[in-house]
Amino acid sequence: MNTKVLLVGGRSKAQSLAISLLKNGYHVTVINETYEDCLKLAEIDKLTVINGDGTRPFVLEDACASDADIAIALTLKDEDNLVICELCKKKFHVKKTVSLLTDPKKTAFFYKMGIDSVVCATTAITGIIEQQAFVDKIATLVPIGEGRINIAEVPILGTAPVVGKKLWEINLPKQVIVGCILRGDMTMVPRGDTRILAGDMLILISSDKQEVAAIRELTGR
Amino acid sequence: MQLFKNEKGNKDYTIIVGCGRLGANLANTISDEGRNVLIIDKNKDAFRKLSPSFGGISIIGDATDFDILQEAQIDNASVVVSVTDNDNINIMVALIARDLFQIKCVISRLQDPERECVYREFGIDTICPAVLSAKEINRILAEMSTSEAVSSEVDQ
């Protein structure tokens, strides 16, 4: 059986999420308050679109919320997202609820209210902007665990200060480890006495936002 | 600094969220009774509805913002009443007051009776004007029909 996903609110977010979910074989229903947005969304193939206020129980009922496996609230208003998730959880018994959140201070509160996953757009976006501003083109970062942990891909150029050094000779921050080294076709899990060579690609795992310091240490930039 | 002094040490401090007709009316009444009241609204013009003799405090701001609630010293409140014109904001304020600040008495106004299940689940008292009005109109209609029945009996 296909997993059924219910998206409530949001225009471009709902659009791109719906396209990507449909591509992965999910059943997707979108609820949107604005008629024009609904027309735009209805152009997407195989997507069910409901025009209405998703914070109203009968609109959720029209969208068969009780059949949904995952409900995702994407509106820009925190209070609407909270009510959407609460209704889905309490009234329609949706197994998993996900909410977008604008105010980072409310993250813990939303979790306390029983929402399964809270995505704080503000924190996520400032995180990405910070990352882009400081490690631009030096490394690729993949945030996991809501951005508490980052996996970074750091290419080591010939000019990097760590070339030729052993791992234990490098002064990496405590919250960072080099998890893997990609050298040509070879991959290896390094030890303290592994020497870093020019052209290596290091895979860093870091927590506590230490990746910027670590990348500076490794690349000298 | 404490906004209100409690002479007897017992808490009597009401926070009202939303200075509409209902909120302002309630705030005026509580203030006239000589009790402590604080009212929050996003729009400073809303406070015009308060009577000139209003003796409480008014704060301009978004009541779903924790900083504003801290400023209102919500920790000291005995009652929180959320009566904005937006049901979803009322739900959020009520949940924040109840679950984050442990306010025992939280009352909300609800325009759409359908959303009541969210409140019921969390044990928040609701006032639904639509339901109240319908009940009252029904009561008046029932009274009228009985008095009509009585008067028609008298006529016979």
Residues A130-172 have pLDDT tens digits of 766 765 556 677 778 777 788 888 888 878 888 888 888 888 8
Nearest to B118 by CA among A80, A64, A9, A118: A80
Chain B contact residues (CB < 8 Å to A): 64-67, 86-89, 91-92, 95-96, 99-100, 112, 114-115, 117-118, 121
Of residues A73 and A194, more confidence is placed in A73
Q: Mutate which of B95, B108, B126 to test chain A, going by most A C-beta atoms within 10 A? A: B95
Q: Report ipTM (2 d.p.).
A: 0.79
- Segments making up each domain of chain A, as ranges: 4-122, 130-219
> pLDDT, tens digit, for every residue of B51-103?
999 999 999 999 999 999 999 999 899 999 999 999 899 999 999 998 889 88
Are A83 and B117 an interchain contact pair (Cβ–Cβ within 8 Å)? Answer: no
What residue of A is the nearest CA neighbor of B64? A79
Question: For position B9, what pLDDT does the model report?
Answer: 47
* Residue A57 touches chain B, beta carbons under 8 Å: yes
CATH topology for B13-128? Rossmann fold (3.40.50)
Question: For position B8, what pLDDT does the model report?
Answer: 44
Q: Please identify which residue in the block is written with the tokens 């009202």.
A: B16
Tell me the chain B residues in contact with residue A106 when contact means C-beta distances shorter than 8 Å: 64, 66
Q: Architecture of A4-122 per CATH?
A: 3-Layer(aba) Sandwich (3.40)
Tell me the chain A residues in contact with residue B100 when contact means C-beta distances shorter than 8 Å: 109, 112
Q: Which of A79, A91, A103 is closest, CB to CB, to B91?
A: A79
What secondary structure, in 3-state letters, does chain B show?
A: CCCCCCCCCCCCEEEEECCCHHHHHHHHHHHHCCCEEEEEECCHHHHHHCCCCCCCEEEECCCCCHHHHHHCCHHHCCEEEECCCCHHHHHHHHHHHHHHCCCCEEEEECCCHHHHHHHHHHCCEEECHHHHHHHHHHHHHHHHHHHHHHHHHHHC
Cβ proximity of A69 and A89 under 8 Å = no
What is the CB neighbour count within 10 angstroms for residue A16?
A: 11
Are A90 and B117 an interchain contact pair (Cβ–Cβ within 8 Å)? Answer: yes
CATH topology for A130-219? Alpha-Beta Plaits (3.30.70)
Q: How many angstroms separate the CA atoms of A80 and B86, rounded? A: 10
Chain B: give the shortest CA distance to residue A56, in Å. Answer: 7
At residue B33 the predicted structure's pLDDT band, cuts being 50, 70 and 90, is very high
